[in-house]
């Protein structure tokens, strides 16, 4: 099993660079504000969210039927449909298709699912070159990192660092960190890759049961270039990407880009119904734990996610701790629900990477009750005996103390005495996580109860006055 991922430890490393942490925070808040402007420009925003949520609920309830319908219709269009139970089977299927076409070079557009399956290293092991063509993904690929955000993969990287990376790999000018110049260099570099590719792999934003088509959304046009030059197109999707009707897209496309980056729609919303003339198209449907998640009344809603990233942009914890601190393919609020569902022990710190402010729930375009689910996870971890000691011990002691008023009063006075009189090292240490970046307030000499009782005693009797 994977090792335990500790969000606080990784977040600590991120916030150690104060300047970068603030810059990251601001960059994401900027995107969140753009999203707000877009949402506010449509009077029907709340109706859209409601309808989107209902479509997804309905679809999950009839998912098996819709998957079969999708397969049937896609097959009629000449598409080869494959089913994969888990990541291993997914990767094997993709490899077999590529090998049977003698493919050596693949261009791939953004797909969180192939990240989830670790497809790139798997194909590279079999001597197939995989080039990520989304600019942000290409940057992290060249730096041998993973994306830190599902929509903005390189949001954690400064332009000066991109400049260094491009100087090393693409031979750009030393010290030139102008985004325009760097983008132009990447355009030239990736054009060559597009022209040299034997196959293109894309993710899938939506798959339409009624028509057998898939929709892929990008701003750069990289998915389209990648699958319009070579004859082979492989699209990889989770089984939850299905929607029933073509016109359901009207709801989702109106929500997706507005929520993600504050654009009215992505530049390209491409509808693939079958292969290129003379070409071949494959669609791989992946389960990998999704059908298990369907069985959970508490967490089923997380399958509605359309991966817009809005919950990350708005999350105060994500913005200040960076995507990599989650150690998961999908970080942020939604990732902190999905990851424990796959492995609750390894990801037990994630449901606590949340202040329960509820901002994620407010912005989610498909109305997932994110912060409620995170809270539910905490209870679930307790039931499974996976709560870390600094979470359950204070709670237990606290509840015991609060049940007895006299004990509560006594502990309170001891606490106040200690806070006022003990040396710093006895108060600010490893066990006091609250004191790590904050100062505790100065402890008053008297408790609220003492002050109240004193006041009551000294108060002139109001009733007496009135009677005079």
Q: Which residues of this protein are in contact with ligand SF4, per CB under 6 A?
A: 305-311, 334, 363-366, 368, 370
Q: Does 68 bind other proteins (CB under 8 A)?
A: yes
d(CA 133, CA 375): 37
**Least CB distance to other proteins at residue 405 (A):** 45
Q: Which member of 113, 201, 225, 381 binds other proteins (CB under 8 A)?
A: 225
Runs of H (alpha helix) within 315-404: 316-321, 332-342, 359-363, 370-383, 389-402
Residue 200, token pair as written in the block: 């293109």
Q: Which candidate, 100, 21, 56, 27, places its Cα nearest to that of 368?
A: 56
Q: By CB under 8 A, what part of segment 9-28 binds other proteins?
A: 27
Which partner from the list ligand SF4, other proteins, none does 51 bind, CB cut-off 5 to 8 Å by kind?
Answer: other proteins
Least Cβ distance, residue 414 to ligand SF4 (angstroms): 44
Backbone angles phi, psi at 336, to 5 degrees: -75, -10
Residue 70 near residue 209, CB atoms below 8 Å = yes
Considering the rule CB under 8 A, would residue 162 count as an interface residue with other proteins? yes
Within 251-310, which residues bind other proteins (CB under 8 A)? 251, 253-254, 261, 263-277, 285, 287, 291-292, 294-295, 300
- Burial code (b: 16+ CB inside 10 Å, e: under 16) for 443-460 equals eeeebeeeeeeeeeeeee
Minimum CB separation of residue 196 from ligand SF4 in Å reads 34
Q: Which does 306 bind (CB under 5 to 8 A by kind): other proteins, ligand SF4, none?
A: ligand SF4
Q: Which is nearer to other proteins, 227 or 346 (CB)?
A: 227
Stated as kind and residue range, the H or E segment containing 215 is: strand 213-218
Among 17, 247, 355, 404, binds other proteins (CB under 8 A): 247
Task: Please say which residue, 230 or 335, places its beta carbon nearer to other proteins.
Answer: 230
In the complex, minimum distance from the CB of residue 322 to ligand SF4, in angstroms, rounded to a whole number: 17
Tell me which of ligand SF4, other proteins, none is bound by residue 201, counting a contact when its beta carbon lies within the kind-specific cut-off of 5 to 8 angstroms.
none
Sequence-distant (6+) residues with CB within 8 A of 383 are none
β-strand partners of 215: 206, 271
Decide which of ligand SF4, other proteins, none touches 222; Cβ closer than 5 to 8 Å per partner kind.
Answer: other proteins
Distance of alpha carbon 456 from alpha carbon 22, whole angstroms: 48
Query: Binding partner of residue 236 among ligand SF4, other proteins, none, CB under 5 to 8 Å per kind?
Result: none
Neighbour order of strands in the sheet with 105-108:
80-84, 280-286, 232-238, 199-202, 105-108, 129-132
H or E stretch covering 23: helix 18-40
- In the set 39, 60, 98, 387, which binds other proteins (CB under 8 A)? 60
Residue 54 contact partner, candidates other proteins, ligand SF4, none, CB within 5 to 8 A by sort of partner? other proteins
β-strand pairing of 206-208 with 213-218 = antiparallel
Which of the choices ligand SF4, other proteins, none does residue 392 contact, using the CB cut-off of 5 to 8 A by kind? none
DSSP-based three-state secondary structure for 457 = helix
Contact residue for other proteins among 21, 246, 375, 411 (CB under 8 A): 246
Residue 368 Cβ vs ligand SF4, minimum distance, rounded to whole Å: 5
Site for other proteins in 405-424 (CB under 8 A): none
- In 3D space, the residue among 230, 218, 42 whose CA is nearest the CA of residue 135 turns out to be 218
Residues 353 and 105: their CA atoms lie apart, in Å, by 40
* Cβ at position 420, least distance to other proteins in Å: 47
């Amino acid at each position: 099993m994977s090792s335990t991922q500790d969000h606080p430890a990784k977040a600590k490393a991120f916030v150690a660079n104060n300047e970068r942490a603030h810059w990251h925070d601001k960059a994401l808040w900027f995107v969140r504000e753009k999203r707000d402007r877009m949402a506010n420009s449509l009077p029907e925003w709340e109706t859209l969210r409601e309808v989107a949520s209902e479509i997804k609920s309905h679809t999950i309830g009839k998912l098996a039927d819709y998957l079969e319908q999708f397969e049937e219709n896609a097959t009629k269009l000449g598409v080869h449909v494959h089913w994969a139970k888990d990541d291993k089977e997914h990767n094997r299927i993709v490899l077999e298709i590529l090998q049977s076409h003698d493919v050596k070079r693949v261009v791939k557009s953004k797909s969180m699912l192939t990240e989830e399956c670790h497809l790139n290293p798997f194909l590279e092991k079999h001597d197939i070159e995989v080039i990520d063509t989304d600019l942000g993904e290409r940057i992290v690929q060249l730096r041998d990192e993973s994306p830190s955000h599902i929509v903005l993969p390189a949001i954690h990287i400064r332009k000066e660092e991109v400049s260094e990376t491009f100087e090393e790999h693409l031979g750009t000018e030393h010290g030139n960190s102008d985004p325009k110049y760097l983008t132009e260099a990447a355009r030239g570099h990736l054009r060559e890759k597009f022209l040299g590719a034997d196959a293109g792999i894309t993710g899938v934003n939506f798959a339409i049961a009624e028509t057998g088509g898939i929709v892929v959304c990008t701003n750069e046009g990289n998915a389209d270039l990648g699958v319009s030059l070579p004859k082979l197109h492989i699209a990889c999707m989770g089984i939850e990407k299905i929607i029933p009707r073509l016109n359901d897209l009207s709801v989702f496309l109106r929500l997706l880009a507005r929520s993600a980056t504050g654009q009215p729609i992505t530049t390209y919303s491409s509808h693939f119904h079958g292969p290129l003339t003379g070409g071949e198209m494959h669609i791989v449907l992946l389960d990998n734990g999704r059908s298990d998640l369907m069985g959970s009344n508490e967490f089923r809603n997380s399958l509605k996610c359309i991966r817009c990233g809005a919950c990350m942009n708005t999350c105060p914890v994500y913005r200040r701790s960076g995507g990599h601190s989650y150690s998961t393919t999908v970080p942020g609020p939604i990732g902190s629900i999905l990851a424990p569902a796959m492995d609750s022990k390894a990801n037990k710190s994630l449901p606590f990477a949340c202040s329960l402010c509820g901002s994620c729930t407010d912005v989610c375009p498909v109305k997932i009750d994110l912060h409620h689910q995170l809270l539910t996870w905490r209870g679930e971890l307790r039931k499974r005996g996976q709560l870390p000691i600094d979470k359950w011990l204070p709670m237990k002691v606290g509840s015991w103390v609060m049940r007895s008023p006299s004990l509560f009063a006594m502990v309170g006075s001891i606490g106040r005495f200690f806070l006022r009189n003990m040396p710093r090292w006895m108060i600010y240490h490893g066990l006091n996580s609250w004191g790590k970046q904050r100062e505790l307030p100065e402890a008053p000499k008297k408790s609220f109860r003492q002050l109240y009782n004193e006041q009551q005693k000294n108060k002139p009797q109001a009733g007496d006055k009135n009677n005079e």
